[in-house]
Structure 1
Amino acid sequence: MYNIFSQVIKETVKITLAGQIFFNGSIIDLSKEIVVLFNGKDYIYIPMEHIENVSVDQDEEIIQQPTNFPSVISKDDKNDFSLTYMLNEAIGMYTEIYVANKQPIHGTITQVQSNYFVFHSPIYKTMYIATKHLKWLIPYTENQKPYTLTDDELKVSAKKGILPQHFEHLVHSMRDKLVVVNQGEKPYHIGKISKVHGAIIELQTARTNTTYLNLEHIKTIHES
């Protein structure tokens, strides 16, 4: 797929993601794991595994090539331009990301672990996001800040302690804590983790109803 996409670099394309999400723009960089699209305003970093379709868009107005370099660029060896590399390069940048609930999240990546990353949002505070569920990432332009907040207002307080390397171990460590899963997409995504049975999370909702969540479908989690 990577070699095929290289044939349409700098052409205007339409990219369809899972969930009927569409982007139009010009492919300006790519690797086996990442496609970088420029839509005339932003650089959009899209993990390859979420792309359903790419087509050359003959009807769209030609998008001018960018005059500035993207915030995160690939190395000479495209094999090094992995999703993990991109996330590490984006640490500390103001970014927009999309994971779940049809709502992009704005803030900064603060840490990257084996299969998840830590994201600080002015709205949700500290969030833990399973890397495989990241649909896209858009770095802010140089002078942009989320919600027009100042750097001091957006400052992230360092948390004490060492985080588990793997997302499943992190979720296990949240037993007996109040959490919000997948940005509260469903009513049963908010509650207290009472037990963890392997990949099944037992959650107690506000009215003490018990619900069971499959860890594989937990995209984001943060403490309430």
Structure 2
Amino acid sequence: MDFKKGLNEQIELKISGGIYQRGILIDYEADLFVIYDGSRFIYIPMYHVHSIHFEKNSNDIVSNPENMPISEEMDSISFRKMLTHAKGLFTEITVLKNKSVYGYITNVLTDYIVFYSPVYKSMYISIQHIKSLIPYNNNETPYALAGGDLPVHHSNLPLARTFEEQVKKLTGKVVIFDLGEEEKKVGQLKSIKQNIVTVITARREEVYCNSRHIKTIHLS
């Protein structure tokens, strides 16, 4: 279905994790929605959209923005192009329900991005698990840090082409999966074989994770 006929109309999207995003529809392509909620442009990949509702009779109307989002600079948009154009911009990324990370995209690989966060430092985020992305203005920085207080430290670890191969490079290191939302997702990465990641927890227990469901990974 072509949703472009709904451009500039009020819309509500339900996305993975039971998250609702509301605003006006700014742009749409086969793999991407762009909405404006009154202050932010929100980029949402189509594969995380569960339902779409045009709110024609809504009393909570958002005005059209004066400044267009990243997609204005591109002849055509796609989720991957948007990730590339967002490199170097202060960005908010949602990967877990109601939990976002803030920082900068530094690299875009085949199926993951490298993300620098002042809190988590260098992170590897699976593209398929990015639920939404919000790029901020050029003069905005996370946590109101001055530019000199926000050096983007690039990891010395060579980058692999795929997320799974990058995870393998962390074998033997203490890692944190999915922002440490579960205690058993923190530990020494022992091995990864046939999409099964083995982690040894602080209590020396072996935990097995399906790599396809790992959203983020960073070092302790």
Q: TM-score under structure 2 normalisation?
A: 0.95
- Aligned length in residues: 219
State the match for 2:198 in structure 1: 202
Q: 1:6 is matched with which residue? A: 4
Distance 2:103 2:49 in 1: 24
Q: Is the 8 A contact 1:115 1:130 kept in 2?
A: yes
2:209 matched to 1:213? yes
Q: Is the 8 A contact 1:72 1:90 kept in 2?
A: no
Task: Indicate the RMSD between aligned Cα atoms, in angstroms.
Answer: 1.4
User: What is the one-letter code of the residue matched to 2:36?
Assistant: F
The runs of 5 or more residues in structure 1 that have no matched partner are: none
In structure 2, C-alpha distance between the alignment counterparts of 1:158 and 1:24, rounded to whole Å: 35
Aligned-pair CA distance for 1:161: 4.9
Q: Deviations over 1:52-94 (max 9, x none)?
A: 1111112232211101121343633x3xx22211111000000
Preserved CA contact (<8 Å) 1:12 1:60? no
Structure 2 residues without counterparts, runs of 5 or longer: none
Q: Are residues 50 and 10 of structure 1, via their aligned partners in 2, closer, same or farther at CA, if it must alter by over 3 Å?
A: same
Change (3 A) 1:211 1:182: same
Conserved? CA contact 2:89–2:138, under 8 Å: no
Deviation at 1:138, TM superposition (A): 0.5
Partner of 2:68: 69
Q: In structure 1, what is the Cα distance between the partners aligned to 2:130 and 2:183?
A: 22
Identity among equivalent positions (%) equals 36
1:100 corresponding residue in structure 2: 96
- Tell whether 2:164 aligns with 1:165: no
**What are the equivalent positions in structure 2 for 1:10-159 lying under 5 Å apart?**
10-57=8-55, 58-73=57-72, 75-76=74-75, 78=76, 81-100=77-96, 102-159=98-155
**In structure 2, what residue type is equivalent to 1:173?**
K
Choose 5-14 or 99-108, whichever is displaced more: 99-108
Measured in 2, the distance between the counterparts of 1:190 and 1:109 equals 23
